[in-house]
Structure 1
């Protein structure tokens, strides 16, 4: 195993421990989870903080999340696709919240949000329904991101009982039926219709 592969394996093994123990995780726990000797850790990382930072950076790397979105079949029904997208966003946000909570007061690394890349994925997934959509894929992304973010907030999600199916229905259908067409007013009678010519009375 190369040094880079060893570093990656250690970072992957550290993340669940970080979620469980926060920054109190020990290098012994990390070494046992990674299946290496404790001294090996310090041949590829400077210290425990460097290991934790690498684990967090590996989790926040957006490639695997985007790949999960791309695995959704564009041919599925619209509402099912939106539900699956919300599920993936919810899991992503919940994981990020968990990682940041585990970091405590330690500086939090920036989260890469490449909107153009995500919107491009949404455009591919929604392409079969483009003619049905009242808003562009970028707006659908904004809707999904808001509802998934809110539903993943630890202190907020416990107070609502909306699952991903209900959230998908909200995004796809809204909360009201389309209004019925307005009835024509009785007084709305065209005034420019031709009239029949009236004869003058006989004298």
Structure 2
């Protein structure tokens, strides 16, 4: 039977796609309201019935845990860093990487802070990602936790940004990537006037003294 309106129906979402859509709609509300956000608010934002949320997640706690897991997931950010062109100057590469990583940390901190300030999650959920002993294997063969795996993956993509200058570097790309990663993490820990990404990269590459290295 043909559709009398002549319009094509949008393809139905898979359960995973629907969950992702709900989480994306919920994240701004979680930042604003923390654990006080209601499933009715999320349903309105997602343009769905409230019952769809419960069918997808079971309860609000599982939805909130999925929001925290999504905020903590670095995949998109790491893909962005890995795609930075290597034919631009190293300083520009590092500024773009710093912006991407600091944006990720800010988003994750906003969600975690909102949840913590309003009471936090009452129980962990399987939606929160890999647990200790269930993650990828590290170089020693031991299982990595989700946080360790994320740290290692970040270090790997940052190492690639230093690779074109390997012969001119004072330390191997891997060591510099680790130091740069720590600097980015530290830059987000408080301070009334944090360094910009450009200032952070300039300090990392050229040091605190004018005129380069001390003679």
Bigger radius of gyration among the two: 1
Identify unmatched segments of 5+ residues in structure 1: 181-203
- 1:112 has 2:112 as partner: no
Distance 1:124 1:161 in 2: 26
Distance 2:74 2:165 in 1: 26
TM-score by length of 2: 0.75
- 1:85 has 2:97 as partner: yes
1:157 maps to which residue?
Answer: 191
SS of the aligned residue for 1:112 comes to helix
Tell me, yes or no, if the aligned pair for 2:159 and 2:177 is still in contact at 8 Å. Answer: no
Aligned pairs (5 A) from 1:163-174: 163-174=196-207
1:200 maps to which residue?
Answer: none
More displaced, 127-136 or 144-153?
Answer: 144-153
1:63 maps to which residue?
Answer: 75
Q: 1:120-149 CA deviation, whole Å, 9 max, x = no partner?
A: 212322211111111122222232222222
Identify unmatched segments of 5+ residues in structure 2: 1-12, 132-145
Q: 1:47-99 CA deviation, whole Å, 9 max, x = no partner?
A: 11111111111221221121111121111101111111111121122122111
Q: 1:161, CA displacement in angstroms?
A: 4.8
1:45 maps to which residue?
Answer: 57
Distance 1:25 1:36 in 2: 16
RMSD: 1.9
Q: 1:27, CA displacement in angstroms?
A: 0.7
1:128 maps to which residue?
Answer: 164
2:23 maps to which residue?
Answer: 11
TM-score by length of 1: 0.79
